Structure 1
Amino acid sequence: MSSILKIKDVNKNFGKISVLNDININIDKGDFLVLVGPSGCGKSTLLNCIAGLEKINGGEISINNKDMSEVAPKDRDIAMVFQSYALYPTMTVEKNITFGMKVRGISEEIQKKKLNEVAKQLQIENLLKRKPSQLSGGQRQRVAMGRALVRNPKLFLFDEPLSNLDAKLRVEMRTEIKRLHYDLGASMVYVTHDQIEAMTLATKIVVMKDGFIQQIGTPFEIYNYPENIFVADFMGSPAMNLIGATTKKEKDHIKIEIKLEDGSTATLIEKSKLKLPKDIIIGVRPENITENGSKKDSNFQYISSKVDIIEPAGSDTFVVTKLGNKEVTARFHSETDVKIGSKVKFSFNLQKVTYFDPKTGQRIK
């Protein structure tokens, strides 16, 4: 498959402040790439560099195998959807959507045809005569997407398009964007700080921090095999539990010892051939710590610990305890009858555990 977007060794500075450092990303036609990370990590700056709204200080960005160094934003064959919608307030929905085509000298017949296609696709046929001030946030976002869709560009760029919407509408619009991607087979680059959005939309995720790429992978890879402690902690809700522990090498296994709140020690047995340092951090997702008796399998081992907090969450109940001086969240059944203060057997799925080196923060492979 040919690359639609290549970002090679890209650097960007604002004065003496380095915002992007040696960024390398490839996306194929039809990919949905999500740039995710905390505020200030450089993801929106990178999107603006792809769009040509910011000049890069080093490296190369090419779209459809064409170097974009000297290409103006309007000639890059991209369409951008902004967080603020950026609609013309004095124009109707219809004119907002067709304005770009009119400026490019596209015939009225084609304008009308494209308008009808996207209005139907986005279910906004009944809004065409309204002005932006008469629309809800979700409707405005649909119009902004409609304006991008009529361009039929090589690449769609989305800059936190759902962050102004309420929670329910965000979920609906997420589904809408996912459906659009599937129907159009379009290539998309999408910026968000919301890791749930990243996990649900992406075919490929780029996790960023302080202008550096931390990991690139599919949602499955990022979630199950985080490269470092930052990715493990940032991706997932609730986040991955990160528990400090020490190891002791035995003949055919490794003993992993975890301090409990009462000062005693719990032991897990690791039988894989991994080389683990003396001090480690165990990464384990809440769904891989369940209640005793819910799983009968040799991969499951148990730690008895006191329940600190119980958080009912509809289909699940999150149970919090303390292990290795850290709060640890387990995912129990919704009908669990555990009580705060009681001692409970927590069942760990050791097949799903990730180990990190506390010195480097990197995953131990």
Structure 2
Amino acid sequence: MAPILDIKHLRKSYGATEILKDINVSIEKGDFLVLVGPSGCGKSTLLNCIAGLEEISGGTVEIDGRDMTHVSPKDRDIAMVFQSYALYPTMSVAKNITFGMKVRGVPQDEQDRKLAEVAKQLQIEALLKRRPGQLSGGQRQRVAMGRALVRDPALFLFDEPLSNLDAKLRVEMRSEIKKLHHRLGASMVYVTHDQIEAMTLATKIVVMKGGVIQQIGTPAEIYNHPANTFVADFMGSPPMNLIPVKTQAAGAGAQVRIDRDGMDPIVLNVPRSDLPAEVLMGVRPEDLAEAGYRAGSSVQRAQIRVDMVEPAGADTYVTTQMGGRMITARLHAETLAHAGELLDLEFDLDKVTFFEPQSGARL
């Protein structure tokens, strides 16, 4: 079966400035692809290239097995939901939703049936007679989604649809979109700079930086096996700790030494015999636990001096200095850690990742 979306060697330039560099990505029917990265990384430009709103400089875009590279947006069998909602202010909600069908000459009874179906799905039946100016941000976003849903397209495209909403509403709308995807089995491409949004919504994530794909994978692959230090630092909140360490061979593995100001170095034994003398060791904050809190043969203990304690409800964040950097541990809420005191921490060495310091690539 052909992928629902297949992008091959896509490039986009404005004059001499290359915005997208050799982009290759494909998704199967029913996938939820999230394009994530910092502002200016090219993710919205890539979405616009898929939609046909931007002309590409090289490569191809296939949708549902058809080459759409030079096909106009209206003929690509896509529906797009924008950050700005793009609703007609003088039309009722019902007319906003059915306008596209009316333009395409869909019979009135079919328009009415689709409208009723989508209004029920999005729980906006009571809003159909109102105008956009009488709606909250979340309601407007639902209407914009309703307008896309009545199309029943091959591909839904979302361009940062939740970025204008407050934090609580974002979480609610995020779960609405996830439920919608699950219910419809629809194929979706979603742009965001919010890595939490990416992790919770995606079946597949594309992490971008400077117009280049850094990594493609499932949320678990991206989080647990980042391809480089950029992905490690960008995905996760707080991000992965990247600690400069020195290594030396020890039996079948290696000893890792973490230098510290005013304290003895931390020495850990890892089952890797292929490490260069100086590497970056990546440790997620949750893989640094209080002593006795985690069992397992790969857990090794070290004493640290606590610099700062930040209670955050379900978690408590503790920072300390290792390898000349501030390192964060995510501990349980009832921790008794206090700034200035010593604390025994345990490293889960099954979960650490090593990176080459110059290139940032995972070893």
Shorter-chain TM-score: which interval?
A: over 0.9
Map residues 119-138 of structure 1 onto 2, 5 A cutoff. Answer: 119-138=119-138
- Pairwise CA distance, 1:70: 2.3
CA RMSD of aligned residues (A): 0.8
Q: Is residue 2:328 matched to residue 1:329?
A: yes
Match for residue 301 of structure 2? 302
Secondary structure in 2 aligned to 1:220?
helix
**What CA distance in whole angstroms lies between the structure 2 residues aligned with 1:261 and 1:148?**
57
Match for residue 339 of structure 2? 340
Q: Is residue 2:262 matched to residue 1:262?
A: yes
**What CA distance in whole angstroms lies between the structure 1 residues aligned with 2:339 and 2:77?**
58
Map residues 157-176 of structure 1 onto 2, 5 A cutoff. Answer: 157-176=157-176
Secondary structure in 1 aligned to 2:39?
coil
Secondary structure in 2 aligned to 1:3?
coil
Q: Is residue 2:234 matched to residue 1:229?
A: no
**What CA distance in whole angstroms lies between the structure 1 residues aligned with 2:40 and 2:305?**
39
CA contact (8 A) 1:160 1:190 kept: yes
Q: Is residue 2:315 matched to residue 1:313?
A: no
Map residues 1-365 of structure 1 onto 2, 5 A cutoff. Answer: 1-262=1-262, 264-272=264-272, 274-364=273-363
Secondary structure in 2 aligned to 1:347?
strand
Secondary structure in 1 aligned to 2:148?
helix
**What CA distance in whole angstroms lies between the structure 2 residues aligned with 1:139 and 1:261?**
54
Question: What's the CA shift string for 1:136-161, capped at 9, x where partnerless?
Answer: 00000000000000000000000000
How many aligned positions are there? 363
Question: What's the CA shift string for 1:112-155, capped at 9, x where partnerless?
Answer: 00000000000000000000000000000000000000000000
**What CA distance in whole angstroms lies between the structure 2 residues aligned with 1:209 and 1:294?**
37
CA contact (8 A) 1:260 1:305 kept: no
Between the two proteins, what is the percent identity of the paired residues? 64
Q: After TM superposition, where is structure 1 displaced by more than 6 Å over at least 4 residues in a row?
A: none
The code of the aligned residue for 1:220 comes to A
**What CA distance in whole angstroms lies between the structure 2 residues aligned with 1:69 and 1:231?**
30
The code of the aligned residue for 2:123 comes to Q
- Pairwise CA distance, 1:262: 1.2
**What CA distance in whole angstroms lies between the structure 2 residues aligned with 1:246 and 1:107?**
71
CA contact (8 A) 1:206 1:215 kept: yes
**What CA distance in whole angstroms lies between the structure 1 residues aligned with 2:339 and 2:177?**
42
- Pairwise CA distance, 1:263: 5.2
The code of the aligned residue for 2:206 comes to V
**What CA distance in whole angstroms lies between the structure 1 residues aligned with 2:217 and 2:295?**
32
**Ranges in structure 2 where 5+ consecutive residues have no aligned partner:** none
Question: What's the CA shift string for 1:280-338, capped at 9, x where partnerless?
Answer: 00001011001011123221111211101111111111111111011111111101111
The code of the aligned residue for 1:247 comes to T
The code of the aligned residue for 2:11 comes to N
- TM-score of the pair, normalised by structure 2: 0.99
